[in-house]
């Protein structure tokens, strides 16, 4: 099965997003709703995106005490979402509580444990008190999340091969930090092309500005899909 494309719809307003969603119908199966848009427009925006025929990846990166995160998952379970993120650095008990809430209230929902943000490198990670290289920390957090019951993770494409090889078969691996050849890296530090990310084991790639910030978003999405399909052939 080919790696699937997720549009990171990180634009400032619904008015900017709606034409993009119309243009990309049939070209992109998934849309990521992030903290910016969810904070501005809330659950109604999630429903609007889902009503447009998209699967919704709600990227809120939950991180709090275990009971609070579990209750947040329970509340969000009423929304038409298929994937939801939480920070693995919240610890095993937090992740296990979130997993229990997901199983009880949204069996269809995949919880994704965010490992090390793709904007971080060794220096920024060390500044937080973690002395290891990003790859080692990603591996550690992936194993911790799997032990807590998670079967989906977010990591940079540089670490996806290791997680694919060491975590249970069928684990969902979502990779931001994906840039087509020639695209600007933006605020991402650990990046890879769509084809290489798919070959490394990504099940989904997240792409934002290289699609929504170009003259023809549908053509840009189609080119990435063609690259992913060729990789799977």
- Of the candidates 32, 61, 71, 99, the residue annotated as catalytic is 61
Q: Are strands 152-154 and 110-114 parallel, antiparallel or unpaired?
A: parallel
Closest CA to 58 of 41, 68, 67: 41
For residue 52, give both structure tokens.
Answer: 């447009």
Number of neighbouring beta carbons within 10 Å of residue 62: 21
Strand extents, DSSP E, the chain: 4-8, 30-34, 55-62, 83-87, 110-114, 152-154, 172-175, 204-207
Cα–Cα distance between 70 and 84 in angstroms, integer? Answer: 12
Radius of gyration, CA atoms only, the chain: 17
CB 173 within 8 A of CB 206: no
Q: Does the annotation mark 32 as catalytic? A: no
Is 73 in contact with 101 (CB distance < 8 Å)? yes
Tokens of 109: 């929902």
Catalytic residues: 61
């Amino acid at each position: 099965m080919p790696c699937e494309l997720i549009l990171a719809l990180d634009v400032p307003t619904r008015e900017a997003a709606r034409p993009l969603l119309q243009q990309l119908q049939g070209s992109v199966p998934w849309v990521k709703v992030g903290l910016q848009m969810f904070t501005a427009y809330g659950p109604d925006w999630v429903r609007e995106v889902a009503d447009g025929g998209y699967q919704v990846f709600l990227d809120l990166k939950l991180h709090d005490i275990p009971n609070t995160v579990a209750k947040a998952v329970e509340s969000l379970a009423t929304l038409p979402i298929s994937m939801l993120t939480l920070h693995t650095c919240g610890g095993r008990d937090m992740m296990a509580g979130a997993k229990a809430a997901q199983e009880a209230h949204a069996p269809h929902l995949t919880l994704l444990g965010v490992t090390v943000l793709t904007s971080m490198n060794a220096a920024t990670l060390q500044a937080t008190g973690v002395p290891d290289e990003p790859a080692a920390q990603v591996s550690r957090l992936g194993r911790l999340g799997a032990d807590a019951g998670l079967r989906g993770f977010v990591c940079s494409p540089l670490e996806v091969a290791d997680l694919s090889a060491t975590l249970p078969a069928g684990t969902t691996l979502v990779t931001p930090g994906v840039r087509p050849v020639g695209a600007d890296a933006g605020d991402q530090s650990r990046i890879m092309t769509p084809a290489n990310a798919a070959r490394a084991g990504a099940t989904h790639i997240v792409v934002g500005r290289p699609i929504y910030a170009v003259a023809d978003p549908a053509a840009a999405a189609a080119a990435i899909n063609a690259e992913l399909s060729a990789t799977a052939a």
